[in-house]
Amino acid sequence: MVFTSFNFLIFFPILAVLYWITPSRFKWITLLAASYFFYINIKPVYAFLLAGVTLTTWLFTVLIAKTGNEQHKKLYLTINIILVLLPLFFFKYFGTFNNEVFTLMQAWNVRWPLPEMTLLLPIGISFYTFMAIGYTVDVYNEDIDVEKNPGILALFVSFFPLILSGPIERAGNMLPQFRKPPAFDYDLFVKGLKLALWGYFMKLVVAERLGMYVNAVYGNVEYHNGSSLLLASLIYPFQVYADLGGYSLIAIGVANVLGIKVIPNFNRPFFAGSMSEFWRRWHMSLISWLTDYVYTPLSFSFRRYKIWGIVLALMITFMISGIWHGAALTFVVWGLMQGVFLSTEALTNKRRSAFEVKYRLNRKTWYLIFTMVVTYFLFSISQIFGRAENLDDAFLVFRRIFTDPGPLFLGPPATFINGSIALSLLMFKDFTDEFYPGRFLLFENPGKVVRTISYSLVIILILLIGILDSGQFIYFQF
């Protein structure tokens, strides 16, 4: 079941009523049953994998908490991380690895025992695996208490709003809310509905409409000229933002309706003035997870190399981030580019700050706009590797952009007009929230009339120009 399906619109209200009438100490059971029902509805057999990951995590974290022996602790930590990562590696990378070896062996006329294969990725596995690992490390570091009730841990790993695409939550935030469910909070309930509504708008209207153009161009790279490829490449970051950002808002909103608070995933990323700021605003839950569990341990162990240790840690972290997105060379290049951008900033940070202070640039509007545009361009360039089917396509896109200008392909007028209206609305809201907070309130307006008109308008837009039957989010494939 996905948020944009008709089934979900029936499932969720029923669950919300059931949840709020369930006595407090049994609430976790209602949520756990709902979460497995939600997941089983997608593909039943993969629920066993989810249960398996939960069970080993529960077992080894209880062992970690029980033993006083530091070496045993470390051993249990390592075993659990390996066990939890195995299915992820198998389903995500084994197929690619096998097929590469298969092709290579064929070229040498050697028989490789396994035929070419395509494994269907168990949906959400990249997300719940990270949550399970994060929990294990937190227990090992004694940052949180171990959860002895396997049911509550199972709920943390499988919590249905988050399981398909995050935000990648932390046990320290979620477990207390599942153990002692917060009492009904009307404001949070309403806030959740508003967030979900805006999330649906971002996904069904903005992401889908922009996606029509981007897919038309990127689906047939060889038939499009540089101008169209450039436009599609500049639109794609907005599409991903509306897609994953919209999904995240629905997830957060749905959790809020159930009284559960969830960390944010995006913070108006296109107003970032540097790549490091951008990565504090874009897919925040993934980046903060990678910072805590990959980058910090790495940079700590490389710290005697000073700034170069940091550069190395950054490169490795973003390589992992790239490969996490998919087993393809395009994602490796994507990760490398982020690493290079951030390392360059780290190396020049002091000089840049001194320069900005000297000329008081941080107060000059033109300079702020300039840094935002540069950041957006850099990210768009890297996203060409995130979007292209393969490296050849990506390089073709670059070649065409620089050598093959021509008349712009705009697609059917409706696509262009609807896409522009949708994106303008989204960016207008982000712009006012960023620079004039509290000035142009719509969903939060104190006047009931404005609020009602805003809700109605967004609902009408969803029904009128939203694409209601696609049902696929970009991040489901990761």
Positions touching other proteins (CB under 8 A) are 141-143, 276, 280, 291, 295-297, 299-300, 303-304, 306-307, 309-310, 313-314, 342, 346, 349-350, 353-354
Residues 394, 404: Cα–Cα separation, whole Å: 15
Question: Among residues 143 and 444, whose Cβ is nearest to other proteins?
Answer: 143
Least separation in angstroms between residue 352's CB and other proteins is 10
Task: Output 310 or 384, the one with its CB closest to other proteins.
Answer: 310
* Rounded least distance, CB 296 to other proteins, Å: 7
Nearest residue (CB) to other proteins, 262 versus 314 = 314
Q: How far is the CB of 27 from other proteins (least distance, A)?
A: 31
**AA identity, residue 85:** L
Least Å distance, CB 346 to other proteins, is 5
Q: What single letter denotes the amino acid at residue 370?
A: F
The C-alpha atoms of residue 34 and residue 19 are separated, in whole angstroms, by: 10
Q: Considering the complex, state which of residue 340 and residue 450 has its C-beta at the smaller distance from other proteins.
A: 340
Least spacing, CB of residue 165 vs other proteins, in Å:
24
Name residues whose C-beta falls within 8 Å of residue 297's C-beta, 6 or more positions apart in sequence: none
Residue number, 247 or 282, with CB nearest to other proteins: 282
- CA–CA separation, 245 vs 268, rounded Å? 10
Complex with other proteins: residue 291 or 445, whichever CB lies closer: 291
Q: Which residues contact 128 (CB under 8 A, 6 or more apart)?
A: 50, 53, 157, 158, 163
Cα–Cα distance between 306 and 311 in angstroms, integer?
A: 9
Q: Which CB sits closer to other proteins, 179 or 280?
A: 280
The residue type of 199 is G
d(CA 271, CA 241): 13
Three-class SS state of 144: coil
Distance, C-alpha 244 to centroid of its chain: 6
Smallest gap from Cβ 89 to other proteins, in A, equals 25
Closest distance to other proteins from the beta carbon of 303 (Å): 5
Q: State how far the Cα of 425 lies from the Cα of 103, in Å rounded to an integer.
A: 48
Nearest 5 degrees, angle CA 189-CA 165-CA 23? 40
Q: What angle do helix axes 208-218 and 413-435 make, rounded to 10 degrees?
A: 120
**Cα dist from 369 to 56, 362, 374, whole Å:** 50, 10, 9
Which residue, 357 or 373, is less far from other proteins as judged by CB? 357
* Cβ proximity to other proteins, 52 vs 309, nearer residue: 309
State the Cα–Cα distance between residues 318 and 330, nearest whole angstrom. Answer: 13
17 Cβ contact partners less than 8 Å away, ≥ 6 residues apart: none
- State which residue, 304 or 360, has the beta carbon closest to other proteins: 304
- Write down the least CB distance from residue 141 to other proteins, Å: 6
Cis link prior to 44 (omega < 30° from 0)?
no
Residue environment code for 182-217, b if the CB has 16+ CB neighbours within 10 A, otherwise e: eeeeeebbebbbbbbbbbbbbbbbbbbbbbbbbebb
CB of 286 to other proteins, least distance (A): 14
Q: Least distance in Å: CB of 345 to other proteins?
A: 8
